[in-house]
Amino acid sequence: MNKKIFTGLFLSGFLILFFSCSTKKNSIVNRNIHALTTKYNVLYNGQVAFDQAKLQLDDNYDDNFWKLLPIEPLKIQEEEIIKIPSANKPKQDTQGESTAQGFDKAEEKAIKAVQKHSMDINGKERNRQIDDAYLLLGKARYYSQRFVPALEAFNYILEHHSDNEIKDLARVWQAKALVRLQNEELAIETLEYLLKNLNLPLEIIEDGHTSMAMAYQAIDSTDLVIRHLDSAVIFSVDPKQKARNLFILGQLYRNEQKVDTSNLVFEKLIQFKKAPHRYKIHAQIDRAKNYTQQDSTKLQLSILQKLIEERDNRPYLDELYYQKGRIEMQNDSINIAVSDFEKSLGVVQSKEYQKELTYEQLGNIYFDKANFEIAGAYYDSVVQITKNKNEKRVRRIVRKRENLEEVITYENIAQNNDSILKISALSKPEQELFYQQFIDSIKKADELAKIKLENTLITTNGFGNINDDTSKSGSKGGKFYFYNTSVAGFGKQEFKRAWGNRPLDDNWRLSTKKSINKGPNETEALASANTFDTSKKYELDYYISRIPTEKKEIDSITTIRNDAYYKLGIIYKEQFKEYQLAADRLEKLLSFNPIEKLILPTNYHLYKIYANFDESKSNKYKKIVVNNYPESRYANIIMNPEKVLTSNEIDNSPEGIYNDAYCDFDFQHYDKALTKTEKAIQLLENETIAPKLELLKAYILMKTKGANAFKEALSYVALSYPNTEEGKHAVKILDNFDNASSSLNEK
């Protein structure tokens, strides 16, 4: 009897359980069983996968704190390129793969919950967990950057489900997806409707204002971004998002020139105990970025020094040293600033973008010190390590570096020729004493270098163990001592110290090999002056014999030196806006009593340069031009600037003169164009438009005198103006002259 009762109860229980699994029967048992199964089985596993993937995504996001942070840390991949894995290629980022797999798993579980446990009966969903499944589905697709399918999931919730809190969350995520799809207006409209509800949970209010800020940031409405981030901070629940919103607010206030408010926001973030450490330390750094003379320098430096000494801040040492260096630089403590910048570069885990900024600052410091070779080396470092060569800052550095090459060359010419002329002006006993002291100094330096090399060889066993032919420390590739990398490296350093950077080329001893191209006469003079026989470096008579004595030779060196000073002044004035450096070079040129044709333009340029920072000196040079050269074009420009610029009869500006000559060339009035061009070249030979006139003259000569005259004129442009667009254009034509000339003659 008992057996029959047990069997009956078992069958009854089984039948009840079986029929309760149906998704088409609207009973309390069915609803609860499917809801519990959905929540604690399928959805639970999906939510765990989602949370882990989201945490990993946030932790792995590489914020560039030097730029305005995105409100949501999600790097959008505009185009995903599918590549076939290769055995020869390194493996892909496993963290990125696991993150993607986590979102895929969350999506898979959400779909499974809908497919197996949805109870859509008579158009109404009876399983209260399905709306959570659709929300998880949409969020997983959102972070997988499939925004259209994500939007479909959020729209489904809004259309088919009745839970108000879930619908409010869906509206927030719907708006975020619309922002990613560049439909900001609809996103703003959706969120405005949502935020009118005063009874929303704090979490939804925070997310709503944060998403609204995202939408306004996408359309560059900074004031509204600030307003909604402020609101998001007030209603904040999530410490991470609050810290991020505060940091972005500090950046935005600084960009709006509201430095005091920016400081208050950063101070608030610093005091926020629950903020992640990376936000707090960068708030300290950005507070220091806001440093002005009104701040306490001592306090700011002591705060940064304390942060540097804290062990937890080791990952941020490069940024802390850099910011400390900037404050020192603003207070004219240049040597301390250089030391801090070098310490920033010395940090093992220094970030690439931070290195770029530090190299740039060091380059600027050495540029201001007129140490252009070192400055150029630092600018080169920026260009070599940058990942974004199209960034405006990097393009500016590239242009500055290209212009610097010309400055370095002219500075070397000026210094070398100054030295030659000073030595040539000494009496013979003074010359002998000078060079004997120089020979003694290089002998001493060579002895020290020899001792240093021997010590290095002993320390590193560079020659191997004499008594043991099997010594492995002697070399990696054989017994020859230069196979030892330490010895070879030291040798390279010593060569570089003595000779600088030299190309692997014939006649490498000529220092002119590293110079920009000059005109034929200049090149010969420089080569003559710089060719050096190292086998005679200890012979006094050799040095004395190299001192120029003939007036013609000394005059040539003087002319080249004066021309270099003039060009330096113009480059500093026009290209770098370094007015003090420009004034120094041009005033030094005047102290040399240069040829007459340089005196007038030099005085005029000094008048224009000092107009930027010293009115009394500007007036001094203005009087020289006006009183000593009253009939000159420069005097006319000074006395009647409006007349020169607005004259209807003839445009006397350099551009107007060029355009006038070019019109004649264009209408095939070649003789007329040549006359005007040659006259303009004489009048404007020291102006920036001179290369254009010379190139125009070359084309006129091609039409009037043929290919040989054209080639000769192009050579002059290429040699005289190598760093201008016209000079580079001339070089290109000359490189392919045969083909170019034949095609031009056919025309």
pLDDT digits (tens, 9 = 90+) for 94-121: 555 667 788 888 888 777 766 665 555 5
Residue 245 contacts residue 71 (beta carbons within 8 Å): yes
Task: Give the pLDDT mean for 178-183.
Answer: 93
Class of domain 654-746: mainly alpha
Report whether pLDDT(344) > 90: yes
- pLDDT of 211: 94
Report whether pLDDT(540) > 50: yes
- The β-bridge partners of 125 are 120
Task: Give the pLDDT mean for 588-602.
Answer: 90
- The β-bridge partners of 124 are 121
**Residue ranges per domain, the chain?**
1-73+96-162, 654-746
Burial of 590 (0-12, 13-18, 19+ CB in 10 A): middle
Rounded Cα distance, 172 and 419, in Å: 74
- pLDDT of 511: 42
Supply the DSSP string of 188-249, one letter for each residue. Answer: HHHHHHHHT-TT--HHHHHHHHHHHHHHHHHTT-HHHHHHHHHHHHHT---HHHHHHHHHHH
Report whether pLDDT(441) > 50: yes
Question: Which band of pLDDT confidence, cut at 50, 70 and 90, is reported for residue 531?
Answer: low
Task: Give the pLDDT mean for 201-209.
Answer: 93
Structural tokens at position 433? 């004493």
How large a percentage of the chain has pLDDT more than 70? 76
Rounded Cα distance, 424 and 417, in Å: 10
Count of CB atoms situated within 10 Å of the CB of 152: 15
Question: Which band of pLDDT confidence, cut at 50, 70 and 90, is reported for residue 349?
Answer: confident
Question: Which band of pLDDT confidence, cut at 50, 70 and 90, is reported for residue 3?
Answer: low
Residue 187 contacts residue 179 (beta carbons within 8 Å): yes
Structural tokens at position 73? 């840390």
Q: Which of 359, 345, 73 is nearest to 210 (CA)?
A: 73
Distance of CA 37 to the CA centre of its chain: 55
List the beta strands (DSSP E) in 86-158: 120-121, 124-125
DSSP state of 501: S
- pLDDT of 231: 94
> Best-predicted range by mean pLDDT among 128-132, 154-158, 341-345?
341-345
Report whether pLDDT(208) > 70: yes
Q: Which of 718, 721, 641, 713 is nearest to 688 (CA)?
A: 721
Residue 129 contacts residue 38 (beta carbons within 8 Å): yes
Report whether pLDDT(90) > 60: no
- pLDDT of 40: 53
Residue 359 contacts residue 379 (beta carbons within 8 Å): yes
Question: Which band of pLDDT confidence, cut at 50, 70 and 90, is reported for residue 516?
Answer: very low
Report whether pLDDT(480) > 80: no
Radius of gyration of the chain (CA): 38
Rounded Cα distance, 451 and 449, in Å: 5
Residue 698 contacts residue 705 (beta carbons within 8 Å): no
Rounded Cα distance, 207 and 480, in Å: 70
- As a whole number, the mean pLDDT across the chain is 79
Residue 43 contacts residue 113 (beta carbons within 8 Å): yes
- pLDDT of 95: 55
Residue 102 contacts residue 53 (beta carbons within 8 Å): yes
- pLDDT of 28: 55
**In sequence order, which residues have a C-beta less than 8 Å from that of residue 187 and are 6 or more positions away?**
174, 175, 176, 178, 179, 211, 215
Structural tokens at position 671? 């003789």
| 38-43-46 Cα angle (round to 5) | 155
* Parallel/antiparallel/unpaired status of strands 124-125 and 120-121: antiparallel
Selected residue with higher pLDDT from 606 and 597: 606
The predicted-structure confidence for 121-146, as pLDDT tens digits, reads as follows 555 555 566 777 888 888 899 998 89
How many Cα atoms occupy the beta-carbon half-sphere of 222 within 13 Å? 12
**In sequence order, which residues have a C-beta less than 8 Å from that of residue 401 and are 6 or more positions away?**
376, 379, 380, 383
Burial of 79 (0-12, 13-18, 19+ CB in 10 A): exposed
Choice among 31-40, 134-143, 199-208, 636-645 with the minimum mean pLDDT: 31-40
Report whether pLDDT(312) > 80: yes
The predicted-structure confidence for 369-410, as pLDDT tens digits, reads as follows 878 889 989 999 999 999 888 888 888 888 888 878 888 888
| 692-695-699 Cα angle (round to 5) | 135
Rounded Cα distance, 489 and 620, in Å: 56
Question: Which band of pLDDT confidence, cut at 50, 70 and 90, is reported for residue 329?
Answer: very high
Cα separations (Å) of 724 from 144, 575, 715?
50, 12, 14
Selected residue with higher pLDDT from 218 and 467: 218
- pLDDT of 1: 47
Selected residue with higher pLDDT from 526 and 336: 336
Choice among 187-196, 360-369, 657-666 with the minimum mean pLDDT: 657-666
- pLDDT of 461: 52
Report whether pLDDT(632) > 90: no
- pLDDT of 288: 93
Rounded Cα distance, 545 and 536, in Å: 12
Task: Give the pLDDT mean for 694-714.
Answer: 87
Distance of CA 429 to the CA centre of its chain: 54
Q: What is the dihedral of CA 16, 17, 23, 29, to 10 degrees?
A: 70
- Residue 312 is which amino acid? D
